Structure 1
């Protein structure tokens, strides 16, 4: 079955052929020695192409008109199931944005929008909550870090204190850090955008397919941004404090002559308060190298769990170019709840884009809670 996108392509093809046939006919008719048969043959070709073009144009106009009606109709009208209503409302919002239309108040209300002014393109609360709080499989840090969505968030670095006469922080490195950097973490707002290309085929698909496509793309974009800032070896200006590897954060590097020894030494270097809940974030390829070295031809280690081999739970992430060992509860992502939506166009391809604008910050609340394993071979 031909879609509107297919019809548009056919119109371009037939239109070009029709224009060429018309020029060929005129060129042949201009020749003094041209035969009438040739001219009539070109005339017939031109007429046939014109007839085909008119049929396609009529079909195009009808399909486009029907699509416009679908964009303008209230997509949640008559939908009683709560889950189905949310999916229909999401699809309605996406289609309205991509069509350059105002989003109906009923759609926003179904998605939990409390912004009655209509002046700001704020993503309704249902979509924002799902985007920012649903677990993202593609970002391993999501499983171990803290994630919040609070405007102008400020939190204490430690969750409790004792009376002033009790020197309860046994880890002297933590005590020095709190004294040097303060005991409160203040989160900033770093703006970024996620662009989701949407073809007319997807836009015309079922509500479920459209919503799944856009949601998955947006979630992947957010996850990619989180990993990019958290593991950047050369962070962008202003984003230095987001990265584990930033010199401005100054997480202590612990050396070892092999990767295995560097990780073991890093675990040992943590204070027991952090070692208790420590995990190892590392590349799978590095872990395989460790297994190959330790196994020395035996297959026993290949069946062992990573925690049995290294002594702490392992989280694999290809972005962790140097293993990071620590209590990842002190890795904290915070989003501003105000997430905006808009539309744009890729001028190179002509594809329409659904655009999400968000504000993110990642803070390492206590650098004392982490160590970076560094391999320094014996000379």
Structure 2
């Protein structure tokens, strides 16, 4: 029964109850009326009163809920987009931690129209007053492709033309012949967990949202980085994600020293990949190269890395062996429908906001990359 039907029924029963009470008064005042007549009318009044009380209680509850929604709507209109999003994300966290259902309006406010929720489980960082761990970074996010498509399949080559001679890189041609011309992304489950105290939970929407968002980003970017640069993946499901696993088949190029190995690797790439190549390496290795090249001079220390090595350089401590190539052929894909859960460490009392998600990293063409190693 909707709100307006409830209101109509309450009014109708109220009128009937009023009439019944007036009639009871008339019967009670009539000397000719019997005790049975009074009792029968009283019974009718009691029945109407019970029905009225039940309907009125339901109506009052529905009216309160409607007013609450109205206030919520008015507040939502007053909030700027950032506040609206923070409020929605904070409500998602608090309801998840309390093991309560999350309304679809919360997901929609987060830009998520998926009925199961989870399309936007990778939120952007917002400012925070809470002191937490330094934000982790995955340098590949700036140069690789990141998508969020269910059952994603894409061509191994980004484009082609109706000319078989176009694929004149024999390594690429052999790889496509061996692996097929389509890349299929899998669903590899992982959990991102953010621990929080009751103080954080009861804090402002802005602080709670920022704290959890940063924690989620740290967990997700750490996972992305670790699978891409894992020197020895133990899980079969993660071997194809690593630039370093032998099963991926990325060619290693050597040089007398690391500088020569990197420049040789760049030169060894087919021109289609070399044009857009990026060098991903540790800052420690770069300083070692500068120290060798500078030979006591301080000039090179102020030069841009791209000027020294001839290609854009991205630093990460995870790249223990420099990876050189066109990183548009490196792609992360997140499957939709992330799950939100609550967990607790009984030993410490810390509660965790848990996001279960599905991700895959595909190196679409191994021939688009090279590994650089010094012979020494």
What's the CA shift for 1:228? 0.7
- Equivalent runs, 1:71-220 vs 2, <5 Å: 76=72, 78-80=75-77, 81=79, 82-114=81-113, 122-123=117-118, 125=119, 127-128=120-121, 130=123, 138-163=137-162, 166-220=164-218
What's the CA shift for 1:163? 2.2
Three-state SS of the structure 2 residue aligned to 1:373 is: strand
What's the CA shift for 1:100? 1.9
Three-state SS of the structure 1 residue aligned to 2:85 is: helix
What's the CA shift for 1:137? 6.8
Is residue 196–residue 354 contact of structure 1 (8 Å, CA) maintained in 2? yes
Partner of 1:324 in structure 2?
Answer: 323
Q: Please say which of residues 343-352 and 201-210 is displaced more in the overlay.
A: 343-352
Bigger Cα Rg:
2
Deviations 1:166-203 (A, max 9, x none): 41111111111111111111110100001100111101
Partner of 2:47 in structure 1?
Answer: none
What's the CA shift for 1:297? 0.7
Cα distance change on mapping 1:178 and 1:106 into 2, 3 Å = closer
Three-state SS of the structure 1 residue aligned to 2:223 is: helix
- Equivalent runs, 1:235-314 vs 2, <5 Å: 235=233, 236-314=235-313
Aligned-partner Cα distance in 1 for 2:221–2:107: 26
Partner of 1:369 in structure 2?
Answer: 368
Is residue 277–residue 324 contact of structure 2 (8 Å, CA) maintained in 1? yes
Is residue 156–residue 185 contact of structure 1 (8 Å, CA) maintained in 2? yes
Is residue 76–residue 85 contact of structure 1 (8 Å, CA) maintained in 2? no
Unpaired runs of 5+ residues, structure 1, are 1-72
Q: TM-score, structure 2 length as denominator?
A: 0.75
Three-state SS of the structure 2 residue aligned to 1:239 is: helix
Aligned-partner Cα distance in 2 for 1:173–1:310: 24
Partner of 1:351 in structure 2?
Answer: 350
Unpaired runs of 5+ residues, structure 2, are 1-67, 126-134
Cα distance change on mapping 1:76 and 1:259 into 2, 3 Å = farther
Is residue 195–residue 353 contact of structure 1 (8 Å, CA) maintained in 2? yes
- CA-based RMSD of the aligned residues comes to 2.0
Is residue 259–residue 373 contact of structure 1 (8 Å, CA) maintained in 2? yes
Partner of 1:3 in structure 2?
Answer: none
What's the CA shift for 1:237? 2.5
Aligned-partner Cα distance in 1 for 2:237–2:150: 19
* Count of residue pairs brought into register by the alignment: 295
Aligned-partner Cα distance in 2 for 1:84–1:279: 38
Is residue 128–residue 337 contact of structure 1 (8 Å, CA) maintained in 2? no
Three-state SS of the structure 2 residue aligned to 1:233 is: coil
Cα distance change on mapping 1:131 and 1:329 into 2, 3 Å = same
